[in-house]
Structure 1
Amino acid sequence: TKANKAYGGLSDADYKKLANLNFKNGGKAFTEVNHNQSTLVKNSWKVNRVIYSNLDSLNRTSRPNTAFLEKRNVANDSLRVRQFVEPAGWHYNRRNGTQIYNRGHLIAYSVSAGIDQSGNYDPRNQSGDQNNPKNLFTQSAFSNQKIQTIFEAKVRKALRQNKRVIYQATAIFRGNELMARGVNLQAVSTDGTLNFNVYLYNVQPGYEFNYNNGRAKVNHQIQVNE
Structure 2
Amino acid sequence: MRKKRKSSLTLIAILLIAGFFGLKPQQAHQVTTVAENISTTVTQTKNKTKQSSSATNTKATSSTQLAALNYQSGQNPIVQVNGGKSTLNPADWHTNRVIYSSLDSLNRTSSANTAYLESRNVANDALRVRQTVQPTGWHQKFAGKTAILNRGHLVAYSLSKGISLDGNYDPSQQSGDQNNLKNLFTQTAFSNQRIQTIYETEVRDALRAGKQVIYQPHAIFRGNELMPRGVQLQAISTDKTLNFNVYIFNVQPNFVFDYTTGRSVQGSMNVPTPANAPSFNN
What is the root-mean-square deviation of aligned Cα atoms in Å? 1.1
Query: What is the CA-CA distance between 1:94 and the residue it aligns to?
Result: 3.9
Is the partner of 1:59 in helix, strand or coil? coil
Q: Is the 8 A contact 2:61 2:81 kept in 1?
A: no
Aligned to 2:172: 124
Aligned to 1:145: 193
Question: Deviations for 1:148-207, whole angstroms, at most 9, x for unmatched residues?
Answer: 000000000000000000000000000000000000000000000000000000000000
**What is the aligned counterpart of 1:187 among 232, 235, 244?**
235
1:52 aligns with 2:100: yes
Runs of 4+ in 1 over 4 A off after TM superposition: none
Is the partner of 1:208 in helix, strand or coil? strand
Is the partner of 2:87 in helix, strand or coil? coil
CA distance in 2, matches of 1:98, 1:191: 40
Where is the helix percentage greater, Structure 1 or Structure 2?
2
Structure 2 regions of 5+ residues with no counterpart?
1-59, 274-282
**What is the aligned counterpart of 2:80 among 23, 26, 32?**
32
Aligned to 1:76: 124
**What is the aligned counterpart of 1:87 among 135, 139, 142?**
135
Amino acid at match of 2:271: V
- Structure 2 length as normaliser, TM-score? 0.75
Query: What is the CA-CA distance between 1:95 and the residue it aligns to?
Result: 4.0
Aligned length: 214
Is the partner of 2:191 in helix, strand or coil? helix
**More displaced 10-residue stretch of structure 1: 85-94 or 38-47:** 85-94
Higher RCO (C-alpha under 8 Å, 6+ residues apart): 1
1:10-25 correspondence to structure 2 within 5 Å: 14-25=62-73
**What is the aligned counterpart of 1:223 among 270, 274, 280?**
270
- Structure 1 length as normaliser, TM-score? 0.93
Aligned to 1:167: 215
Amino acid at match of 1:123: P
CA distance in 1, matches of 2:141, 2:224: 23
Is the partner of 1:188 in helix, strand or coil? strand
Amino acid at match of 1:79: L
Is the partner of 1:157 in helix, strand or coil? helix
Aligned to 2:17: none
